[in-house]
């Protein structure tokens, strides 16, 4: 059935020719959720390239034992800037941007609840990111050349005290994240208000796409986690500028308190980043399995359970501090508990695939790799949750392998899946299937070479964040495999960039609904008009487009 038959379809407009200054002004002054979504995603991808380059440089330094490509100082700055960028200036804008674009479309709304707040949030994010990177030239102020922050992405006290971190590099770390954090908070407020008050007729909570449910839980976590991070950052600023003593061990301040505050944010942050990955997988896997999602209510419940349990597990990042038996046991048990709803989700995705008519197009390829990789990420997570195991391997490459398995194997793979899946909706053009397959295989091979071997380095005792190592430790061969993997990943990314530019110029026209999908965003034109829907949609089930395409057997008879 061609999508032109759908009653929700909007008429195609031919825009009048406009000058580039008008076009630029249109982008800078926009309050449209779709344009802001594109701006978020585009900036996130640019910072992904920047953060990836830093990682590649570090891997080149570690290729040989005793290598001197990077000095220890430069290496420290690179791992700090790499980690901070990937979490705050890549992960956050990508998940917020994708939701910004899709969430109103999926619930049949005209825009987000607060369009101007939405624009403010984006510019806060971008300004925070640029402020952070400005440290490279301006961190020492007028006194000399700048230096980037070098205190690690979780900036442990007392390393961040005025005595140990001179100059202003740490201040740029604090302020960049603080400012970008205001953007994240405003985005979360917007997503919650939009989801609760702007849904179209018939879109009950129980009929919302899982994507929307999951972003609702993510927004809740942003509200719970970013407030405390802001508070901790303000305390650090008071220490550094006003002579306060929050984390000043000389005056009785407690360095471990910073760790508690930071990880009270830091652990939910992991779920803020990975639940959107679950959200994309939960939309894509059913469409390419030609089945409804298995266990919708259980998925919602599991997501809510994660949204609550993940608030009580933060100290598993601090086992080596020595928390005492009682506290340690609590956090071990809580951490293992949070694995249960996550495991339920994996079963549900497999249940969706099971018996389905599978189409292994590029989005589905990325989601399949995600399932395997995220399973391993979860298993190493459970291993690290056991405190005695963690005492051995904390701050080793095993931990680095674990969280890269989560954030790349889990999040980045699903983000690629999401981009291949929704790019046609955003631009009206298909990304090349052939280039997409090259991208996928290069990236999956590179990922496995890099991060599977890192587990071995960790088990062999290689600590994270060292800038070099001696040859007699027998780590060299593992590091060389790891670094070789980076080459494959970089090639994959290069193919991806080519695929995007190729599609923008010569991509095959997509039509409204290239994947024969079921959620509302596919009922409007590609790209959607500024007003999203010509008339407000009305839905009767979780798969409104299925109902339209199959009036003889609509879903609402079965739900």
Partner 1 sequence: MSATAATGGFVPGDRGRVGMACLIFTESAFFSIFLVAYLFYIGKSATGPQPAQVLDLPVLATVCLLSSSGTIAVALKSLGSGHIARFLVAWGLTIALGVAFLGFTAQEWQRLITVDGLTLRTNLFGTTFYSLVGFHAAHVLLGVLMMTSVALLALTGRVNSEHAPRVELVGWYWHFVDAVWLAVLTVVYVLGR
Q: Which residues bind partner 1 (CB under 8 A)?
A: 113-114, 117, 185, 188-190, 192-194, 196-205, 223-228, 230-232, 234-235, 238, 242-246, 251-254, 257, 261, 264
For residues 225 and 299, which CB has a smaller minimum distance to partner 1 in the complex? 225
Question: Closest separation between CB of residue 522 and partner 1, Å?
Answer: 21
Select the span of 1-9, 100-108, 114-122, 266-274 touching Cu ion (CB under 5 A): 266-274
Out of 35, 267, 404, 542, the residue judged to bind Cu ion by CB under 5 A: 267
Place of tokens 């891997």: 59
**Cβ partners under 8 Å of residue 240, min gap 6:** 160, 161, 162, 170, 171, 174
Residue 158, classed as helix, strand or coil, is coil
In angstroms, the CA 51 to CA 90 distance is: 8
Question: Closest separation between CB of residue 72 and partner 1, Å?
Answer: 34
In angstroms, the CA 413 to CA 289 distance is: 18
Q: Which does 200 bind (CB under 5 to 8 A by kind): partner 1, Cu ion, none?
A: partner 1
Q: Which does 462 bind (CB under 5 to 8 A by kind): Cu ion, partner 1, none?
A: none
For residues 174 and 367, which CB has a smaller minimum distance to partner 1 in the complex? 174
Question: Closest separation between CB of residue 156 and partner 1, Å?
Answer: 17
Select the span of 183-191, 264-272, 396-404, 407-415 touching Cu ion (CB under 5 A): 264-272
Select from 367, 401, 420 the least CA-distant residue to 485: 401
Q: Which residue is nearest to Cu ion (CB)?
A: 267
Angle at the Cα of 504 from the Cα atoms of 498 and 505, rounded to 5 degrees: 90
DSSP 316: G
CA atoms within 13 A on the CB side of 514: 22
Q: Which does 253 bind (CB under 5 to 8 A by kind): Cu ion, partner 1, none?
A: partner 1
For residues 247 and 478, which CB has a smaller minimum distance to partner 1 in the complex? 247
Question: Closest separation between CB of residue 245 and partner 1, Å?
Answer: 5
Q: Which does 1 bind (CB under 5 to 8 A by kind): partner 1, Cu ion, none?
A: none
For residues 311 and 369, which CB has a smaller minimum distance to partner 1 in the complex? 311
For residues 223 and 358, which CB has a smaller minimum distance to partner 1 in the complex? 223
Are 521 and 109 a contacting pair, CB within 8 Å? no
In angstroms, the CA 268 to CA 120 distance is: 24
Select the span of 202-210, 238-246, 267-275, 477-485 touching Cu ion (CB under 5 A): 267-275
In angstroms, how far apart are the furthest CA atoms of the chain? 75
**Cβ partners under 8 Å of residue 280, min gap 6:** 98, 211, 367, 414, 415, 417, 418, 421
Question: Closest separation between CB of residue 56 and Cu ion, Å?
Answer: 26
Question: Closest separation between CB of residue 157 and partner 1, Å?
Answer: 13
For residues 219 and 482, which CB has a smaller minimum distance to partner 1 in the complex? 219
For residues 162 and 464, which CB has a smaller minimum distance to partner 1 in the complex? 162
For residues 193 and 379, which CB has a smaller minimum distance to partner 1 in the complex? 193
Q: Which does 261 bind (CB under 5 to 8 A by kind): partner 1, Cu ion, none?
A: partner 1
CA atoms within 13 A on the CB side of 145: 1
How far from the centroid of its chain's Cα atoms is residue 357's Cα? 29
Question: Closest separation between CB of residue 113 and partner 1, Å?
Answer: 4
Paired with 201 in beta bridges are 538
Select the span of 190-198, 236-244, 260-268, 412-420 touching Cu ion (CB under 5 A): 260-268
Question: Closest separation between CB of residue 242 and Cu ion, Å?
Answer: 31
In angstroms, the CA 289 to CA 36 distance is: 31
For residues 117 and 487, which CB has a smaller minimum distance to partner 1 in the complex? 117
Are 380 and 455 a contacting pair, CB within 8 Å? yes
Query: How deeply is 527 buried, as exposed, middle or buried, from its count of CB atoms within 10 A (0-12, 13-18, 19+)?
Result: middle
Residue 402 makes contact with Cu ion by CB under 5 A: no
Residue 361, by phi and psi: left (phi above 0), alpha (psi -120 to 50) or beta? Answer: beta
Question: Closest separation between CB of residue 17 and partner 1, Å?
Answer: 36
Output the CA–CA distances (angstroms, integers) from residue 13 to 2, 29, 237, 475, 508, in the order listed. 19, 22, 51, 61, 19
Binding mask 412-441 for Cu ion (x = CB under 5 A): ------------------------------
Are 541 and 548 a contacting pair, CB within 8 Å? no
Q: Which does 267 bind (CB under 5 to 8 A by kind): Cu ion, partner 1, none?
A: Cu ion
For residues 101 and 262, which CB has a smaller minimum distance to partner 1 in the complex? 262
Question: Closest separation between CB of residue 58 and Cu ion, Å?
Answer: 23
CA atoms within 13 A on the CB side of 270: 26
Phi, psi dihedrals of residue 429, rounded to the nearest 5°:
-130, 150
- Token pair for residue 360? 């292994």
Question: Closest separation between CB of residue 557 and partner 1, Å?
Answer: 17
Paired with 463 in beta bridges are 396
Question: Closest separation between CB of residue 149 and Cu ion, Å?
Answer: 22
Per CB under 5 A, which of residues 229..258 are in contact with Cu ion?
A: none
Q: Which does 254 bind (CB under 5 to 8 A by kind): partner 1, Cu ion, none?
A: partner 1
Residue 429, classed as helix, strand or coil, is strand
Q: Helix 255-289 and helix 413-427: axis angle, to 10°?
A: 60
For residues 203 and 449, which CB has a smaller minimum distance to partner 1 in the complex? 203
For residues 145 and 242, which CB has a smaller minimum distance to partner 1 in the complex? 242
Binding footprint of Cu ion on the chain (CB under 5 A): 267
């Amino acid at each position: 059935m061609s999508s032109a038959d759908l009653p929700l379809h909007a008429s195609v407009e031919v825009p009048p020719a406009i000058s580039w200054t008008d076009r630029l002004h249109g982008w800078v002054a926009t309050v449209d959720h779709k344009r802001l979504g594109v701006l978020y995603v585009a900036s996130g991808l640019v910072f992904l390239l920047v953060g990836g380059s830093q990682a590649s440089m570090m891997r080149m330094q570690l290729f040989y034992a005793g290598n001197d490509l990077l000095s220890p100082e430069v290496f420290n700055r690179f791992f700090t800037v790499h980690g901070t960028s990937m979490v705050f200036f890549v992960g956050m804008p990508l998940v917020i941007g994708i939701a910004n674009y899709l969430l109103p479309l999926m619930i049949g709304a005209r825009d987000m609840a607060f369009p101007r707040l939405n624009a403010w949030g984006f510019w806060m994010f971008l300004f925070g990111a640029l402020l952070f990177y400005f440290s490279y030239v301006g961190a020492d102020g007028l006194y000399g050349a700048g230096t980037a922050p070098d205190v690690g992405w979780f900036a442990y006290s007392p390393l961040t005290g005025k005595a140990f971190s001179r100059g202003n590099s740490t201040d740029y770390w604090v302020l960049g994240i603080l400012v970008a954090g205001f953007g994240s908070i405003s985005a979360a407020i917007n997503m919650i208000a939009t989801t609760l008050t702007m849904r179209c007729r018939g879109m009950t909570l129980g009929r919302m796409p899982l994507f929307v449910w999951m972003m609702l839980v993510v927004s809740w976590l942003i509200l719970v986690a970013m407030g405390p991070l802001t508070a901790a950052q303000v305390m650090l600023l008071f220490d550094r500028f006003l002579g306060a003593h929050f984390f000043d061990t000389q005056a009785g301040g407690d360095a471990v308190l910073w760790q508690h505050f930071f990880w009270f944010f830091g652990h939910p942050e992991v779920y803020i980043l990975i639940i959107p990955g679950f959200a994309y997988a939960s939309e894509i896997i059913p469409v390419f399995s030609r089945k409804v999602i298995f266990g919708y209510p259980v998925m919602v419940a599991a997501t809510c359970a994660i949204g609550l349990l993940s608030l009580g597990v933060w100290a598993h990042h601090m086992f080596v501090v020595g928390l005492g038996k009682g506290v340690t046991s609590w956090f071990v048990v809580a951490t293992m508990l949070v694995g249960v709803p996550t495991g339920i989700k994996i079963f549900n995705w497999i249940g969706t695939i099971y018996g389905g008519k599978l189409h292994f197009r590029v989005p589905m390829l990325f989601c399949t790799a995600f399932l395997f990789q995220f399973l391993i990420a979860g298993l190493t997570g459970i291993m690290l949750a056991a405190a005695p195991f963690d005492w051995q391997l904390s701050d080793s490459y095993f931990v680095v392998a674990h969280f890269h398995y989560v954030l790349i194997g889990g999040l980045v793979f699903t983000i690629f899946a999401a981009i291949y899946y929704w790019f046609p909706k955003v631009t009206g053009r298909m990304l090349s299937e052939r280039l997409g397959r090259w991208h996928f295989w290069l990236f999956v091979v590179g990922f496995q070479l890099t991060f599977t071997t890192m587990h071995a380095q960790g088990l062999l005792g290689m600590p994270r964040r060292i800038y070099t190592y001696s040859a007699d430790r027998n780590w060299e061969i593992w590091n060389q495999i790891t670094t070789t993997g980076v080459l494959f990943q970089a090639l994959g990314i290069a193919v991806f960039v080519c695929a995007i530019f190729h599609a923008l110029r010569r991509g095959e026209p997509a039509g409204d609904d290239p994947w024969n999908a079921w959620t509302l965003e596919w009922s409007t034109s590609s790209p959607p008009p500024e007003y999203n829907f010509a008339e407000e949609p009305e839905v009767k089930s979780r798969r409104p487009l299925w109902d339209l395409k199959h009036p003889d057997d609509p879903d609402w008879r079965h739900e």
